[in-house]
Amino acid sequence: MMKNVLAIARKEFKEYFGSPMAYIFITVFLLLVNFFYVWFFFIQGQAEMRSFFGPLPYLFLFMIPAVTMRLWAEERKIGTLEVLMTLPVQEKEIVLGKFLASLALLTVMLALTFNVPLLVSALGDPDGGTIICGYLGSLLMGASFLAIGLFASALSGNQIVAFILGIAICAAMLIVGEAYFLLFIPDILVPFFNYLGLGTHFESIGRGIIDTRDIVYYLSVIGVFLYLNLVIVENRSWV
């Protein structure tokens, strides 16, 4: 099974780079990330990366559904899904393959931001552990966004709709945990909604402590949305 998953992942990853798409994503992402960081850098006057990781959830909110929108929607539209799904390949292999490809792209995007920690280390003496945790949290949070975006892509044959749905669901899951939303929630329910928020656990990891609760949360989100994705694909109602 892994063979098929890897074959599909490899092909999808290559396809990202076969068109201007991946290059544009990466460039825009790096520009935005660096822009936000530098904006606050001198104001902060501290050798740390909080203003790098801070905006990340919102950056992901808009960029990641754009990365995943084509994964199912395009194949559905041009009909290649019919070819793919009449090959001796299981649906779950296809879901995993596509997820892994987008995860690989995310990893590349994150890896290319290495200039920021380099800069910080050169100018000061930052806490290395916190930075590593920050990246780990980014990866997990990003992977969750990817799983949600992938699921959204499976819901529609239209990439734009997939994009919007992806943002909608990601936004919902992000906002429920944010302070400005929790203001309106009755006190008893606050911890519950707080736990559900995608951003909450990211901040938590970003503080430098890898709490298993946070890891379990992210893995669960990924698991749930990949499973939902599988259900949608198995019961293909678009045929």
Partner 1 sequence: MTTGAEKSSLKGTRHSRSLKVVFIFALGTSALAGNISTSNLLNAMIKIDNLTKYYGPTLAVDSVSFEITRSQVVGFLGPNGAGKTTTMRMVTCYLKPTAGTASVAGYDILDSPLEVRRRLGYLPENCPLYNEMNVVEYLHYIAELHQVPKSERTRKVKEMIGIVRLGDVVYKDIGELSRGYRQRVGLAQAMVHDPDILILDEPTNGLDPNQIIEMRQLIKEIGREKTILISTHIMQEVTATCGRVLIISDGRLVAQGSPDELISQAQGKEAATISLKGNEEDIYAGLREARFIEGFKKKGSEDEGEWLTLEVQSTSGDIREQLFRLAVEKNWSLRELRTERISLEEVFARITTS
Return residues touching partner 1 (CB under 8 A): 3-4, 7-8, 11, 15, 18-19, 78-80, 82-90, 236, 239
To the nearest whole angstrom, how small is the minimum distance from the Cβ of residue 88 to partner 1?
Answer: 4
Question: Which one, 39 or 238, has the nearer CB to partner 1?
Answer: 238
Phi-psi region of 45 (alpha: psi -120 to 50; beta: other; left: phi over 0): left
Decide whether 14 or 207 has the Cβ nearer to partner 1: 14
Q: How far is CA 4 from the centre of its chain?
A: 23
Closer by beta carbon to partner 1, 213 or else 236: 236
Task: Give burial (CB, 10 Å; 0-12/13-18/19+) of 50.
Answer: middle
Is residue 192 classed exposed, middle or buried when 0-12, 13-18 and 19+ CB atoms within 10 A define those classes?
A: exposed
**Least gap, CB of 220 to partner 1 (angstroms):** 30
Q: Could you say which DSSP state residue 82 is in? A: H
DSSP structural state of residue 106: H
Residue 227 C-beta: closest distance to partner 1, Å: 20
Nearer to partner 1, 72 or 217 (CB): 72
**CB of residue 17 to partner 1, shortest distance in Å:** 10
